[in-house]
């Protein structure tokens, strides 16, 4: 998708104009209304048009192809916070692109809504509009011909702060394309998306400026003593592979940050087998690693002044004659022994060793992102991630980055008392906790491997990594959730 900034003389197949409180919000809209003999204001009045989320196509014989009225809601009544206005921009652009595709047109123009110019800097407006447009334009077409192919290939933002809108739109394009890249990897089924395939995808990044890619083989993983991780992969015919991707800025970096993504390319549960239904979407259990990969890729273009290390312990979780069995005891890279009582709590096992490995790089802070627990989906639903960690400032920064990025993250407590339930009769730890508070127990398990001196945050993305229904900013399937939050965080760090 091409994103451009144009002035008001640009003619697109579809022009999106904002409406609020019964009025077109910008001079451009009022100009078009005049040109169309008051048709737009008539429609707005007659249909009481303007609620947030409303759209209405008006076909204008000859003049421009079509006009799309976009309802922005009452912007004064209950003043929206900045992050809500950004989301309004994303969704307005998304609706414009969707209407364009429905109308089978190629170019869509969207005005830089006048009332928001006073509230949001031009760069952020450009970014949000570009993000909404590119996210809404996504479809996953690798395995079947789309029933209605996407036709929109250019979105123009019509405004006069050209330089700043252009800068923001460029950033928005990268944020959204990275999200779409992660969506693709999540949506590719596990028969094609194996640990090996992930390595191939990662190796594509090695030629980008500032990036280097290392892939550790099973033999190397064994040598490092990553017994927890190896136990998860034991049942699979697909060999595990541990990825370490590094972004180094040109100048001196301010900080070294580790991002670890859970990379289970299929989670059957192992011998603690899942039900058929709960396995249906378990190809998405590598969403954390997909986010990590596309964050790393984006850094080569965004060039922030921080050193970032991305890690992913890629594996399948399968039952077989060679699979790890409930009751088995394994040794992690840092020497702690773990009794594996439930082979479906495999994410924390892969992360335990990944955290140990990441800490060898002496990061200033560490973030892991993982589709870790069904309990998190029960607690927060499918639109919100859970965050837990050992450092409140880091957690606050990530939640704030999520707000700006339009991704919801809610903090849950790391309750120390629950650690008792992770104690095993036969080993240092067991991989499951008590009956309740599953998300907390998962985080507490990972924390057992974290050096308490390193600020660490764990983001459980089990809910929002996948959507069962089409949303404004994307179709059913993998969502690429957390990519934009991480990019926002890393470019501000």
Residue 371 interacting with ligand BES (CB under 6 A): yes
Q: Is 348 among the residues known to form the active site?
A: yes
Instruction: DSSP letter for 347, please.
Output: H
Q: Is 285 helix (H, G, I), strand (E, B) or coil?
A: helix
Residue closer to ligand BES (CB basis): 163 or 378: 378
Contact mark string toward Zn ion, 283..312, x via CB under 5 A: --x---------------------------
Residue 112 interacting with Zn ion (CB under 5 A): no
Residue number, nearest CB to ligand BES: 374
Strand pairing of 256-261 and 456-460? unpaired
Out of 342, 361, 424, 471, name the contact with ligand BES by CB under 6 A.
342
Partner interacting with residue 374 (select from Zn ion, ligand BES, none; CB below 5-8 Å by kind):
ligand BES
CB proximity list for 400: less than 8 A, separation 6 or greater: none
380: exposed, middle or buried (Cβ count in 10 Å: 0-12, 13-18, 19+): buried
- Part of the chain binding Zn ion (CB under 5 A), chosen from 107-115, 205-213, 264-272, 458-466: 264-272
- Part of the chain binding ligand BES (CB under 6 A), chosen from 28-36, 37-45, 330-338, 373-381: 373-381
The CB-of-343 to ligand BES minimum distance in angstroms stands at 8
Instruction: DSSP letter for 471, please.
Output: B
The CB-of-204 to Zn ion minimum distance in angstroms stands at 25
- Part of the chain binding Zn ion (CB under 5 A), chosen from 92-100, 239-247, 344-352, 434-442: 344-352
Three-state SS string over 122-186 comes to HHHHHHHHHHHHHHHCCCCCCCCCCCCCCCCCEEEEECCCHHHHHHHHHHHHHHHHHHHHHHHHH
Out of 123, 267, 397, 407, name the contact with ligand BES by CB under 6 A.
267
* DSSP assignment string, 23-69: EE-SHHHHHHHHHTTTHHHHHHHHTT---TT-EEEEE-SSSSSEEEE
Give CA–CA dist 164/117, Å, rounded. Answer: 12
Scan residues 421-480 and list those touching ligand BES (CB under 6 A).
432, 438, 462
Instruction: DSSP letter for 405, please.
Output: H
Strand pairing of 263-267 and 307-317? parallel
Q: Is 81 helix (H, G, I), strand (E, B) or coil?
A: coil
The CB-of-372 to ligand BES minimum distance in angstroms stands at 6
- Part of the chain binding ligand BES (CB under 6 A), chosen from 148-156, 164-172, 241-249, 344-352: 344-352
Scan residues 395-414 and list those touching Zn ion (CB under 5 A).
none
Residue closer to Zn ion (CB basis): 161 or 285: 285
Q: Which residues bind ligand BES (CB under 6 A)?
A: 267, 285, 342, 344-347, 371-375, 377, 432, 438, 462
């Amino acid at each position: 998708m091409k994103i451009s900034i144009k002035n008001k003389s640009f003619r697109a197949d579809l022009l999106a104009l904002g409406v609020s409180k019964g009025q077109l919000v910008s001079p451009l809209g009022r100009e078009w209304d005049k040109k169309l003999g008051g048709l737009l204001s008539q429609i707005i009045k007659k249909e009481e048009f303007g609620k947030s989320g409303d759209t209405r196509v008006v076909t204008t014989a000859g003049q421009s192809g079509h006009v799309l009225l976009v309802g922005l809601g009452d912007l004064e009544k209950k003043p929206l916070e900045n992050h809500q206005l950004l989301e309004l921009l994303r969704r307005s652009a998304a609706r414009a692109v969707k209407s364009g595709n429905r109308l089978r047109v190629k170019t869509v123009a969207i005005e830089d809504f006048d009332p928001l110019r006073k509230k949001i800097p031009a760069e952020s407006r450009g970014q949000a509009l570009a993000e909404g447009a590119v996210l809404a334009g996504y479809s996953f077409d690798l395995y079947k011909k789309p029933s209605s192919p996407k036709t929109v290939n250019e979105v123009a933002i019509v405004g006069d702060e050209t330089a700043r809108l252009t800068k923001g739109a460029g950033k928005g394009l990268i944020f959204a394309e990275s999200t779409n890249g992660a969506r693709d990897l999540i949506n590719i089924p596990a028969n094609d998306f194996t640990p090996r395939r992930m390595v191939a995808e990662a190796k594509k990044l090695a030629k980008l400026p500032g990036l280097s890619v290392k892939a550790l083989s099973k033999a190397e993983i064994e040598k490092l003593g990553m017994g927890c991780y190896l136990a998860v992969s034991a049942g699979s015919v697909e060999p595990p592979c541990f990825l370490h991707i590094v972004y180094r800025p040109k100048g001196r970096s301010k900080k070294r940050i580790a991002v670890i993504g859970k990379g289970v390319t299929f989670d059957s549960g192992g011998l603690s087998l899942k039900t058929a239904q709960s396995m249906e979407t378990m190809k998405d259990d590598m969403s954390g690693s997909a986010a990590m990969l596309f964050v790393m890729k984006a850094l080569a273009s965004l060039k922030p002044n921080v050193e970032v290390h991305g890690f992913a312990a890629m594996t399948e979780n399968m039952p077989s004659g060679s699979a790890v069995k409930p009751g088995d005891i394994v040794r992690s890279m840092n020497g702690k022994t773990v009794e594996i009582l439930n082979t479906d709590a495999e994410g924390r096992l892969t992360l335990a060793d990944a955290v140990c490995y990441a800490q060898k790089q002496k990061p200033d802070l560490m973030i892991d992102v993982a589709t870790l627990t069904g309990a998190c989906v029960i607690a927060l639903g499918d639109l919100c991630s859970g965050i837990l960690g050992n450092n409140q400032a880091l957690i606050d920064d990530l939640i704030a980055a999520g707000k700006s990025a339009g991704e919801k993250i809610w903090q849950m407590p790391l309750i120390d008392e629950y650690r008792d339930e992770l104690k095993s009769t036969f080993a240092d730890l067991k991989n499951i906790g008590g009956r309740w508070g599953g998300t907390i127990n998962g985080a507490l398990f990972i924390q057992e491997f974290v050096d308490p001196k390193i600020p660490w945050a764990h983001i459980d993305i089990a809910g929002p990594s996948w959507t069962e229904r089409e949303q404004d900013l994307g179709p059913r399937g993998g969502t690429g959730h957390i990519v934009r939050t991480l990019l926002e965080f890393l470019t501000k760090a």
